Structure 1
């Protein structure tokens, strides 16, 4: 491979379906550009690659339109959260306290 292109991976997953693409992109390609070039939206109806949150190796990229990829990096396309994890924990604690006959403590 010449220095004008790099190898990267782009991945997206649902609970029942995943897709990982190995791609060669021009050096200087941004995280967002790689996601758009992947064409994964054709495999996952409803996926909007122009606005989906993106990350690299499990770490969110705050400005994917500006972050330039390096050789071997894996672009991850994230799904929106179905439920707020903080709220889910709070509800679980309330149910556990109720089953023990206690009252849950208020957040400080």
Structure 2
């Protein structure tokens, strides 16, 4: 291995992992950081309101059909008022780790 490659590898290994941030919105112009318990750098993303059905039994993720009940600890308040879905390995059809939901007015 060349010296520059070895130095680059050492820096990459020694550098702390960057936090995974939600993109800025009008409600959160600086963005916000997903909690480590939900995301390991690639697992979370904003999803459209239409991707989630909200009903009396909880939230249904349309893509997977997964039901997340209201008392489920995976439900989190969304700091920016948008839905965010964190899944295993960041796969859109993966099992839900966290679901950030916007506040409701009812």
Q: TM-score when scaled to structure 2?
A: 0.24
More helix, by proportion: 1
Higher relative contact order (CA 8 A, sep 6+): 1
Larger radius of gyration: 1
